[in-house]
Amino acid sequence: MKQFIILFIGLPLLGFLVSLIIPSKNEKAISYTAFITTGLGVFSIVAFGIFWAINGSPDLNINEITLYQSEHYTFFIDLFFDKVTVVYLLFSSILAYLIAIYSRYYLHRESGYKRFFNTKLLFITGVNLIVLSGNFETLFIGWEILGVSSFLLIAYYRERYLPVRNALKVYSIYRVADIGLLLAMWLMHHLWHENITFMQLNDSELVHSQIAHHPYVAIAISFAIILAAAAKSAQFPFSSWLPRAMEGPTPSSAIFYGSVAVHIGIYLLLRTYPFWSSIELVKWNVVAMGLTTAVLSAIAAKVQTSVKAQIAYSSITQIGIIFIEVALGFHWLALLHMSGNAFLRAYQLLISPSIVTYLIREQFFNYKPQKGNKLTGRKRIIQNSLFVIGLKEWKLDSLMYKFLWSPLKKIGNWFKFLTLLNVLLFSVITFTISIWLITTKTHLPKIISYAIPEILGAIGFVLVLKAFTERKRVFFVWELIILSHFWTAMAVAFNEAFSLSDTLFYLGGVIFAGIFGYFFLLKLKAKETFDLNDFYGHAFEHKWLSFGFLVSCLALAGFPITTTFLGEDLLFTHIHENQILLAAFVSLNFVIVGIALMRMYSRIFLGPYKKAGHPVPLRDA
């Protein structure tokens, strides 16, 4: 019975791999691959759910796949099946099947037809992996797949400026969610001294005992989980990204941001509820956040000029209410509410093009002037103020830029003096000294030995910020990102006995991705000109270079296709519980590296292609 669960991940993954080798012009084979895959997914989930219910609805746990094991560390794939899993799998698989049918005709003769179905099947694989995950490590694999597939689908119309720009915005917020998840995983390692499973979290006696002995660590973990859930589900103050995500084609908006992906934050809260529910501060923080989001989004939804934006903010409002239901312990109500909201928003988004057509026709043939506003005095002032504030979406976009991205850019601009020569020279000298100190086990004063890992981590973070702000020297940015990984590895290696095999395991993927990415940039440089000040759209003529560079970027960012992904988790296990600054530097390093790499890919290969004879869409088109 347990082994059957693997089929839910294997089916969409197999469909994705098969769809990759089908020629782009064979729309029928591509669409039928998606139909069969998603259709079998619905059938298998329904059949298994009935069999599971007849046998008493037991919680099922599979822990048989160990990806990496050392003396003090084990990374294993753990799968878990319970009532939350069956509800989420059921509505997501049904919607995936229905939207696959809809997309076949909606996207007929689109140049990105194959690309859409490839990405959709990859997305379903990521969602199923998240929902079936039995520990944070497995969840993080699906979490990363979901983030990348979201970016690719929002930027589906890659020859246009706004879809590419908004895809990068959404991906940046997803990376903020990654910070929460990385820190939660790190602190969980120190709280339990093992890779804790979600089934173990259901043991209330064990959980309460740990929380009683480490209350502040438990609170920190809980707020890290809330950060990840809020960013992923567009809760306050991250609400503004969801309407931007609607730049993709209508089917992707329906399945991603109307129904399935936007509810992943709710799943994370439900899965970790046994851990944080007993901490009153955390519980009421979730309630306050959900209530704030519901009120602000309801006002914004009333005044949006785009039908997709109205649906997006309406969905955010309902998700805010579901957050409150989860915090108060009404889990069956939350699951029912989540399923209903998913189906409703998917339906609304799928018919939104027709609604717009009907409304335009009504304006032409049955126009009726709006009646005057009967409100006067203070009530009218309040109404007008709310109208303007809602129309501006509470300026959440501006606030995010002012308090999150702008400070990082300002710090990065302090280091304009950095060049490849002085960075390499400084790195070689510092690495030589550090390696000598580690290998000879030289005794240093306690204050210095404690400070060195954080200093090395800070240097790596500075290199990442420089890469994040650099606009002209593309190869320099690539080299800075590679070097930042080496600085991060050195910081943790100096911290304690981070073995040579562990270091090579982590850096192996970095070196592999770095060499290949550099090669693709050189090949493109021989044919085209580019920097990071504009969008060049070179994917139009250089599709294979675009694909190769994207894979290199994903590998360098820690996507689960090289050993670097496992190495990231391995690094965090060697950061001590009291080294909060080092953990912050390392997690921010990983997150900003991902954003910087996706920005490189977007600006070089996506956006309007400006060569003579090729039509260029307007920026506001």
- The closest alpha carbon to 95, from 312, 265, 345, belongs to 345
Among candidate residues 316, 345, 361, the one where a domain is terminated: 361
Together in a domain, 47 and 195: yes
Please check whether residue 550 is in contact with residue 491, taking contact to mean a CB–CB distance below 8 angstroms. Answer: no
Would you state the torsion angle of the CA atoms of residues 74, 78, 84, 87, taken in this order, to the nearest 10 degrees? 150
List beta partners, residue 63.
Answer: 78
Together in a domain, 349 and 444: no
Together in a domain, 177 and 312: yes
Together in a domain, 564 and 439: yes
Q: Which domain holds residue 266?
A: 2-66+75-361
**Cα angle 303, 305, 307; round to 5:** 105
d(CA 441, CA 94): 59
**Chain centroid offset of residue 115 CA:** 19
Together in a domain, 436 and 572: yes
Structure tokens at 302: 């009333």
d(CA 178, CA 364): 48
Mean pLDDT split into 10-residue runs, the chain, 621 residues? 80 91 89 91 90 86 74 77 90 91 86 89 92 89 90 88 88 90 87 80 82 86 93 89 84 82 91 88 92 92 84 91 94 93 89 73 68 70 79 80 82 84 86 77 73 87 90 91 90 72 82 93 91 88 91 90 82 81 88 92 88 62 48
Q: Residue 427 CB: number of other CB atoms within 10 A?
A: 16
Looking at the 3D structure of the chain, how many domains does it have?
2
pLDDT value at position 73? Answer: 67
Please check whether residue 595 is in contact with residue 175, taking contact to mean a CB–CB distance below 8 angstroms. Answer: yes
Whether residue 405 lies inside any domain: the answer is no
Whether residue 95 lies inside any domain: the answer is yes
pLDDT value at position 493? Answer: 81
pLDDT value at position 438? Answer: 73
What are the distances in angstroms from CA 586 to CA 183, 335, 562, 574?
A: 10, 36, 19, 12
- Identity of the amino acid at 52: W
Together in a domain, 17 and 164: yes
- The closest alpha carbon to 467, from 503, 517, 516, 433, belongs to 517
Please check whether residue 479 is in contact with residue 561, taking contact to mean a CB–CB distance below 8 angstroms. Answer: no
- What is the 8-class DSSP label of residue 370? P
Whether residue 392 lies inside any domain: the answer is no
Whether residue 621 lies inside any domain: the answer is no
Q: Count H helices and E strands in the chain, helices first.
A: 25, 2
* 223-242 b/e (C-beta count within 10 Å ≥ 16 → b): bbbbbbbbbbbbbbbbbbbb
Together in a domain, 544 and 475: yes
Residues 6+ apart with CB under 8 A from 428: none
First to last CA, the chain: 52
Together in a domain, 337 and 474: no
Structure tokens at 452: 């060195």
Would you state the torsion angle of the CA atoms of residues 128, 132, 137, 142, taken in this order, to the nearest 10 degrees? 10
Whether residue 376 lies inside any domain: the answer is no
DSSP string, 580-613: HHHHHHHHHHHHHHHHHHHHHHHHHHSS---STT
Query: How confident is the model over 407-425, as pLDDT tens digits?
Result: 888 888 888 888 888 888 8
DSSP string, 436-473: HHHHHT----HHHHHHHHHHHHHHHHHHHHHHHH--S-
Together in a domain, 350 and 419: no
Together in a domain, 444 and 505: yes
- The closest alpha carbon to 47, from 270, 264, 55, 10, belongs to 55
pLDDT value at position 409? Answer: 84
Whether residue 389 lies inside any domain: the answer is no
d(CA 495, CA 576): 8
| Positions of E strands within 105-219 | none
- What is the 8-class DSSP label of residue 61? E
Whether residue 175 lies inside any domain: the answer is yes
**pTM given for the model:** 0.90
d(CA 560, CA 509): 10
Please check whether residue 567 is in contact with residue 509, taking contact to mean a CB–CB distance below 8 angstroms. Answer: yes
pLDDT value at position 612? Answer: 58
Among candidate residues 361, 385, 406, the one where a domain is terminated: 361
Together in a domain, 346 and 421: no
Whether residue 459 lies inside any domain: the answer is yes
Together in a domain, 164 and 235: yes
pLDDT value at position 408? Answer: 83
**Cα angle 486, 480, 145; round to 5:** 75
